[in-house]
């Protein structure tokens, strides 16, 4: 059987992940998800990345071995779609997909929006993101926002003293829950969870509290308090878990919107065994599909592709019509601009 897309430049793209060894990681991407990992701590697996720090390489077909930024440069709008033309003109791929293993508490942090990042981070883009919870220990909580009524002045004073823990909003979540994290939202993934993260292609992070931890060099990791205070939205209410918005519900298919914003929309599809979903990439946007549970086959004009949990595939904007068929009960995420 030929490789998917052999001889064809427009086909479903799969990637070799890139692993990051931040100090808060562990080994659960191996023990829970069955991933083959390098030795040591693995905090993140960058599944689909056009970020220059850790670009992923295409796993098969015509573009095999090429990094995603190289494919973007060659395919242009045929890959990303007209809705991302502005980002393409700046040489940017719109989305970044990761798996995160929180073996320790992550820092309390916030990300800027596009306007603030452009003005203060050398033309960078902002970072809106979402988490889809894959695993959480019983009674698990994470940080999302500050407690109601906390003002900037009330928040700033404890930061300067090195402790804001009592002012944070802690929320209990379970596997399958969705956490929407718009730019400006204070947040922290705490120890005891594995999540899929979908975000803008940006790594601009303002750390405001790190639990007294030191980095690998033995010194405290830097904080970014002034810029964090510039961008924190103290008035946004915390709605976690984010309630799904139903689109379609039949005996074989449940389709719902999880997060929708100008930067990206994420849907969840729950399919019964043998169920199908028919879609079309019409040139306006790429689509990223992730299999969270079960498995599926993606049929298009070329060689069909099998997608098992927990894997992701990028459908180029110019791909055209495709059909997804599930062999067993499956949960899929669909992301597009």
Is 4 a member of any domain? no
Q: Of 231, 255, 274, which residue is a domain's last?
A: 231
Distance set, CA 332 to CA 59, 80, 264, 281 (Å): 21, 21, 16, 17
Percent with pLDDT over 70 in the chain: 98
> Which residue in this structure is represented by tokens 């979908």?
198
Based on the residue annotation, tell me whether 321 is a catalytic residue of this protein: no
Are residues 327 and 298 part of one domain?
Answer: yes
Q: Of 201, 231, 261, which residue is a domain's last?
A: 231
Is 32 a member of any domain? yes
Q: Of 181, 196, 231, which residue is a domain's last?
A: 231
Is 56 a member of any domain? yes
Question: Residue 81 has which token pair?
Answer: 């779609």
Q: CA angle, 44 as apex, 38 and 309 as ends, to 5°?
A: 85
For residue 118, give the DSSP letter: H
Are residues 300 and 209 part of one domain?
Answer: no
Is 9 a member of any domain? no
Is 38 a member of any domain? yes
Is 6 a member of any domain? no
Are residues 315 and 272 part of one domain?
Answer: yes
Are residues 211 and 78 part of one domain?
Answer: yes
Are residues 216 and 278 part of one domain?
Answer: no
Are residues 270 and 173 part of one domain?
Answer: no
Is 8 a member of any domain? no
> CA–CA separation, 174 vs 132, rounded Å?
10
Find all residues with CB under 8 Å of 226, minimum gap 6, and list them.
none
The residue segments making up the domain with residue 217 are 15-231
> CA–CA separation, 318 vs 299, rounded Å?
15
Are residues 317 and 206 part of one domain?
Answer: no
Total domains, the chain: 2
Are residues 56 and 180 part of one domain?
Answer: yes
Q: Return the CATH number at 34.
A: 2.60.120.10
Are residues 253 and 220 part of one domain?
Answer: no
Coil, helix or strand at residue 139 = coil
> CA–CA separation, 7 vs 10, rounded Å?
9
Q: Which of 28, 207, 227, 334 is catalytic?
A: 207
Is 3 a member of any domain? no
> CA–CA separation, 48 vs 288, rounded Å?
9
Digit-by-digit pLDDT tens for the chain (337 residues) are: 335 445 589 999 999 999 999 999 999 999 999 999 999 999 999 999 999 999 999 999 999 999 999 999 999 999 999 999 999 999 999 999 999 999 999 999 999 999 999 999 999 999 999 999 999 999 999 999 999 999 999 999 888 887 899 999 999 999 999 999 999 999 999 999 999 999 999 999 999 999 988 877 888 888 999 999 999 999 988 888 999 999 999 999 999 999 999 999 999 999 999 999 999 999 999 999 999 999 999 999 999 999 999 999 999 999 999 999 999 999 999 999 9
What are the pLDDT digits (tens) for 115-148?
999 999 999 999 999 999 999 999 999 999 999 9
Are residues 226 and 266 part of one domain?
Answer: no
> CA–CA separation, 25 vs 103, rounded Å?
5
Are residues 212 and 67 part of one domain?
Answer: yes
What are the pLDDT digits (tens) for 26-70?
999 999 999 999 999 999 999 999 999 999 999 999 999 999 999
Are residues 267 and 175 part of one domain?
Answer: no
């Amino acid at each position: 059987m030929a490789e998917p897309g052999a001889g064809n430049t427009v086909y479903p793209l799969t990637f070799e992940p890139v692993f990051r060894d931040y100090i808060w990681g562990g080994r659960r991407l191996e023990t829970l998800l069955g991933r083959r990992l390098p030795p040591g701590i693995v905090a993140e697996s960058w599944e689909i990345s056009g970020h220059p720090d850790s670009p992923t390489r295409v796993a098969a077909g015509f573009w095999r071995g090429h990094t995603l930024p190289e494919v973007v440069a060659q395919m242009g709008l045929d890959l990303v779609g007209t809705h991302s033309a502005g980002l393409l003109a700046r040489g940017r791929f719109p989305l970044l997909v990761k798996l995160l293993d929180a073996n320790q508490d992550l820092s309390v942090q916030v990300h800027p929006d596009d306007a603030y990042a452009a003005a203060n981070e050398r033309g960078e883009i902002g970072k809106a993101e979402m988490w889809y919870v894959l695993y959480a220990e019983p009674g698990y909580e994470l940080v999302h926002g500050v407690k109601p009524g906390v003002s900037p002045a009330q928040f700033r004073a404890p930061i300067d003293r090195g402790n804001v823990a009592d002012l944070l909003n802690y929320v209990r979540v379970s596997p399958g829950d969705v956490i929407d994290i718009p730019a400006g939202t204070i947040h922290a993934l705490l120890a005891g969870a594995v999540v899929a993260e979908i975000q803008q292609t940006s790594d601009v992070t303002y750390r405001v509290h790190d639990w007294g931890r030191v980095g690998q060099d033995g010194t405290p990791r830097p904080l970014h308090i002034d810029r964090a205070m510039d961008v924190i939205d103290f008035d946004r209410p915390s709605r976690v878990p984010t309630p799904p918005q139903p689109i379609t519900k039949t005996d074989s298919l449940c389709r719902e919107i999880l997060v929708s914003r100008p930067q990206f929309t994420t849907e969840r599809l729950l399919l019964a065994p043998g169920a199908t979903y028919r879609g079309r990439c019409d040139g306006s946007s790429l689509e990223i599909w992730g299999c969270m549970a079960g498995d599926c086959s993606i049929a298009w004009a070329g060689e069909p592709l099998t997608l098992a949990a927990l894997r992701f595939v990028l459908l180029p904007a110019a791909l055209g019509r495709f059909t997804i068929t599930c062999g067993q009960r499956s949960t899929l995420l669909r992301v597009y601009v």
